[in-house]
């Protein structure tokens, strides 16, 4: 049978799912996925909200019988696919299959580290409440088959607490661990290697490729197809994954580490010429003055910087050679592994004279952050690494998201992914945005950089919240603006619950937002995407300004410089399309289902007054444009009454 037999107007899904609605776009996407699976080709598919892309790629994949990896950008979508969507589609198709869920190791409890933490009260606080939590953890460990902390009944919102009971690649002792045979990470990876459908995340997908490149064992099996959902996250993730860095704190730790004294009878306290040279080079390096943006590219380095890096790299290399004959325990092995990484990065940085233009090369930077100096290697073109990842597998590659393009085409995504040959398809949302949603940019607000802007934006938000029978998201491009509006809006939302990012976990804030509707939530970056609130619980989304990333952000600054050195226009080719995609994500929080309605208010007049505003507008859903605040208030009240409020 074909995908259309299931997804068609009178297809099988229409007879077994009460809420199934035929969508022509879903059928188109399923056919494109089937072609890519058959030809082992590359498909880039933008599928607007409501198209039903999950079924559109699951059904042809399961029907093909091919072994596949489905990778997502978020844990939430991973869990939904594994726990709900795949079992349902498998049951409907009558095709039982072995499925595995594979997350990063930080999502699994480490039995050894948990036992260590239990024996050290300073790591897990005592007291009746903490004793109850500990007993609940112990009971869960008696029952769990996965060790997945998302299933744990105890809330673990404190990153430090989670760090004490999970492992990292650096502190994991592997087969020497007394709990190795019961290790949840090992078991999850074993099941993945034995399954025909693996649900994982983009970070782990990259980690698998990097491990293979370094000659280590793989995390994922060889498969026939890779399906990458939430693919808009891939380019930035590739930049982070393919970058390497050494911090000032890491260098300080190496130079003060007593492990060397134990292994070599030499070390920080021995006053040998080697250690004196290393300490002097380190002191020279960290005393250098930063560039105007706190960043210096390798073509801006002084002779002193180069000499310091060269001395550190050659000195650490000499230390590694002496370690070859030294006996090692776990501490020694970990120290050596870390030193090898640091030496490699410093050596590459010290050898660079000018920024390379080759796609596969890395550009060295020095960066001064709050915690001190960072030596960083960053890929010239992250898409090159993504292309190498795809070329390493004889498989189909299907990349999809609700927002991949800017200005009505996919060229920005394709360029950042270094894709030269692929099938492209853009499927608009089936929702009636003209009837369901308004877009409003008030011409009465001051310029976003005006000192009075946040006062005016807060006053507008207060009035519209009062008119809105449903819930409200106030989305901000910076934590500073969020905090400023929070301070101003307290007391102006009546009896509504006011929720603020940072005051609880994202999960708990969203839970309260829906339970205590109509509520008001103030959020920044993490609430612009991956949030699905149905119905009247969310009917107003207000955005403080167009989401151009700040050039003072070190990552953005480095990307801008990289585009300049490649002879490109960083605003046109990078900053603008990146901001367009971010705005699309924020606007996309509003209408998630065919019965949803609401208004999007963008407080930034540049959306309608600047020439580049047309690029934003062409990329947004075809909402009705409101010219007055009164229209927005009336629209919200009218639809709220129709919804029974």
| Number of domains present in the structure of the chain | 4
Q: Residue 486, Cα to own-chain centre: how many angstroms?
A: 26
Q: Which of 363, 398, 427 is the last residue of a domain?
A: 427
pLDDT tens digits, 91-107? 988 888 999 999 999 99
Q: In which band, very low, low, confident or very high, does the pLDDT at 1 lie, cut at 50, 70 and 90?
A: low
**DSSP designation for 572:** I
Is 590 found in the same domain as 466?
A: yes
Q: If residue 198 lies in a helix (H) or strand (E), which one and from where to where?
A: strand 197-201
Query: Which sign, positive or negative, has the C-alpha torsion 228, 230, 232, 236?
Result: negative
CATH code (residue 40): 3.40.50.300
The stretch 358-367 carries a mean pLDDT of 79
Q: Is 353 helix (H, G, I), strand (E, B) or coil?
A: coil
Let me know whether 484 and 502 are in one domain.
yes
Distance CA 645, CA 642 (A): 7
Contacts for 298 with CB less than 8 Å, ≥ 6 apart:
349, 352, 353, 354, 355, 363, 364, 365
Domain with 164, as residue range(s), is 105-185
Residues ≥6 apart with Cβ < 8 Å to 147? 108, 109, 111, 141, 184, 185, 187
For residues 473 and 523, give the distance between their C-alpha atoms in angstroms, rounded to a whole number. Answer: 7
Side-chain-side CA neighbours of residue 268 (13 Å): 11
Dump pLDDT digits (tens) for 266-296. 555 554 787 788 889 999 998 887 766 688 8
121 plus 227 within the same structural domain: no
Same domain? For 205 and 179 the reply is: no
Quick one: what percent of the chain has pLDDT higher than 90? 56
**518 prior amide bond cis, ω within 30:** yes
Instruction: Give me the pLDDT at residue 360, please.
Output: 65
C-alpha span between 626 and 437 (Å, rounded): 10
Is residue 122 over pLDDT 70?
no
- What burial letters (b/e) apply to 479-498, b meaning 16+ CB within 10 Å? eebbbbbbebbeebbeebeb
Same domain, 491 and 630: yes
Average pLDDT over residues 328-338: 70
Write down the pTM of the prediction.
0.88
Whole-angstrom distance, CA of residue 385 vs CA of residue 236: 12
> What pLDDT sits at residue 331?
61
Residues 328 and 472 in one domain: no
Burial 600-624 (b: 16+ CB within 10 A, else e): bbbbbbbbbeeebbebbbebbbebe
- Asked if 200 and 78 touch (Cβ cutoff 8 Å), the reply is yes
- Express each pLDDT in 511-546 by its tens digit: 999 999 999 999 999 899 988 898 999 999 999 999
Alpha-carbon 493 to chain mean position = 32
Quick: pLDDT tens for 377-425: 988 778 888 888 888 889 999 999 999 988 888 999 998 898 988 999 9
pLDDT over 70 (residue 216): no
Give the pLDDT of residue 295.
85
The three-state secondary structure class of 498 is: strand
Alpha-carbon distance of 233 to 45, in angstroms, equals 14
- Say yes or no: 325 and 454 in one domain: no
Q: Are residues 109 and 96 in the same domain?
A: no
Q: Is the pLDDT of residue 355 over 70?
A: no
Structure-token pair, residue 407: 């200005």
The pLDDT of residue 576 is 96
Tens digit of each residue's pLDDT (9 = 90 or more) over 250-272: 898 888 865 566 566 555 555 47
Cβ proximity of 147 and 109 under 8 Å: yes
């Amino acid at each position: 049978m074909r995908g259309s037999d299931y997804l068609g107007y009178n297809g099988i899904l229409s007879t077994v799912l009460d809420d199934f609605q035929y969508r022509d776009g879903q059928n188109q996407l399923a056919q494109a996925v089937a072609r890519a699976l058959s030809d082992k080709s590359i498909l880039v598919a933008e599928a607007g909200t409501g198209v039903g892309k999950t079924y559109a790629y699951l059904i042809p994949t399961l029907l093909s019988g091919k072994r596949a990896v489905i990778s997502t950008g978020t844990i939430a979508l991973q869990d939904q696919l594994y726990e709900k969507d795949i079992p349902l589609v498998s049951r409907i198709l009558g095709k039982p299959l072995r499925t595995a869920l594979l997350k990063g190791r930080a999502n699994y409890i480490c039995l050894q580290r948990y036992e260590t933490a239990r024996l050290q009260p300073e790591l897990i606080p005592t007291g009746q409440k903490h004793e109850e939590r500990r007993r609940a953890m112990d009971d869960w460990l008696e029952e769990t088959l996965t060790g997945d902390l998302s299933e744990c009944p105890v809330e673990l919102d404190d990153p430090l607490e989670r760090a004490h009971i999970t492992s990292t690649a650096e502190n994991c002792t592997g087969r020497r661990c007394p709990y190795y045979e019961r290790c949840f990470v090992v078991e999850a990876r074993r099941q993945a290697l034995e399954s025909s459908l693996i649900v994982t995340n983009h970070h782990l997908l990259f980690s698998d490729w990097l491990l293979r490149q370094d000659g280590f064992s793989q995390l994922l099996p060889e498969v026939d197809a890779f399906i990458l959902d939430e693919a808009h996250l891939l380019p930035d993730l590739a930049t982070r994954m393919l970058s390497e860095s050494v911090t000032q704190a890491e260098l300080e730790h190496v130079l003060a580490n007593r492990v060397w004294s134990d292994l070599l009878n030499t070390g920080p306290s021995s006053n040998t010429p080697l250690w004196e040279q290393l300490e002097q080079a380190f002191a020279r390096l960290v005393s250098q003055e930063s560039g105007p943006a706190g960043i210096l590219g390798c073509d801006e380095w002084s002779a002193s910087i180069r000499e310091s890096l060269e001395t550190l790299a050659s000195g650490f290399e000499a230390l590694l050679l002496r370690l070859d004959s030294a006996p090692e325990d776990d501490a020694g092995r970990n120290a050596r592994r870390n030193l090898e990484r640091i030496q490699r990065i410093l050596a590459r940085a010290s050898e660079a004279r000018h920024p390379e233009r080759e796609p596969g090369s890395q550009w060295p930077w020095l960066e001064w952050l709050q915690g001190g100096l960072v030596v960083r290697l960053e890929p010239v073109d992250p898409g090159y690494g993504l292309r190498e990842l795809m070329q390493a597998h004889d498989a189909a590659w299907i990349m999809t998201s609700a927002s991949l393009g800017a200005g009505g085409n996919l060229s920005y995504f394709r360029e950042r992914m270094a894709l030269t040959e692929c099938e492209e398809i853009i499927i608009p949302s089936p929702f009636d945005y003209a009837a369901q949603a308004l877009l409003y940019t008030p011409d009465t607000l001051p310029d976003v950089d005006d000192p009075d802007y946040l006062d005016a934006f807060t006053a507008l938000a207060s009035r519209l919240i009062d008119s809105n029978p449903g819930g409200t998201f106030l989305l901000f491009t910076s934590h500073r603006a969020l905090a400023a509006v929070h301070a101003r809006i307290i007391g102006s939302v009546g009896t509504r619950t006011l929720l603020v990012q940072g005051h609880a976990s994202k999960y708990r804030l969203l839970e309260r937002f829906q339970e205590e509707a109509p509520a008001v939530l103030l959020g920044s970056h993490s609430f612009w995407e991956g949030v699905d609130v149905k119905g009247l619980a969310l009917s107003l989304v207000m955005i403080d300004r167009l989401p151009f990333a700040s050039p003072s952000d070190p990552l953005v600054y480095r990307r801008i410089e990289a585009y300049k050195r490649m002879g490109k226009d960083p605003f046109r080719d990078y900053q603008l399309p990146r901001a367009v995609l971010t705005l699309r994500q924020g606007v996309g929080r509003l209408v998630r289902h065919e019965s949803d309605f609401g208004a999007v208010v963008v407080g930034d007049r540049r959306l309608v007054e600047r020439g580049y505003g047309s690029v934003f507008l062409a990329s947004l859903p075809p909402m009705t444009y409101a010219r007055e605040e009164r229209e927005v208030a009336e629209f919200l009240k009218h639809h709220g009454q129709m919804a029974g409020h």
